[in-house]
Homo-oligomer: A and B are copies of this chain.
Amino acid sequence: MERRGYHHGNLREALIRAALSLIAEKGPAGFTFAEAARSAGVSPAAPYRHFRDRDDLMADVARQGFTRFEAMLARAWNDGRPDALTAFGQIGKAYLAFARTEPAYYSAMFESGLPLDAHPDLQQAGDRAFAILKAAADAICRRLPPGKSPPPLMVALHLWSLAHGIAALFGRGDAARRKLPMSAEDLLEAGLLVYLDGLGLNGPA
């Protein structure tokens, strides 16, 4: 069968590892299903036991990434509570930390262009991670006077976009390359402080 004689679960995990290495080296669109098989040391037919096609493998890599991401965000959220502002900032920092330490997962999650509606497991894993950003935004908005709060979903999307933009531009070894005059973390923290001021919140509760 396969050259390395993988057990069922091992082959699946070996293919995910191979995909992560190839993503790191060539980007999420830069390799074929057969290359992933070769890189895992198995025959071109072997991956079909676990994945329908290349997209299905990528979706599983991204799904696994979102599950780890969710755990990291949840830890940050718990560390920051009960103060909503602290928790908001901690989640932003965790976002940057994940992009920095797991660039291949990050790329599979956000740059693979997979159609989410064709991959419900991936969609659900992404939704679970986003739910933590949303919970943090809910907590922020609960601190605002009634009628003075924007939709919490919008606040969550702003946190997500700012963190994602900073991670993509400066948070993956690019800081030196782009000569950022501060750390990505400091840039995000300063941005969130201005934003929270704009909502009418300043300083911890």
Contact = CB atoms under 8 A, between A and B. Distances in A.
Interface of A: 25-31, 110-111, 115-117, 150-151, 153-154, 157-158, 160-166, 168-170, 177-178, 180-182, 187-188, 190-191, 193-199
Chain B CB within 10 Å, residue with most, of A27, A117, A150, A153: A27
B166 A161 contact: yes
Contacts of A166: 161, 165
A115 to B, nearest CB: 6
How many copies of this chain sit in the oligomeric assembly?
2
A191 B30 contact: no
A150 B164 CA distance: 22
A187 B158 contact: yes
A196 B168 CA distance: 23
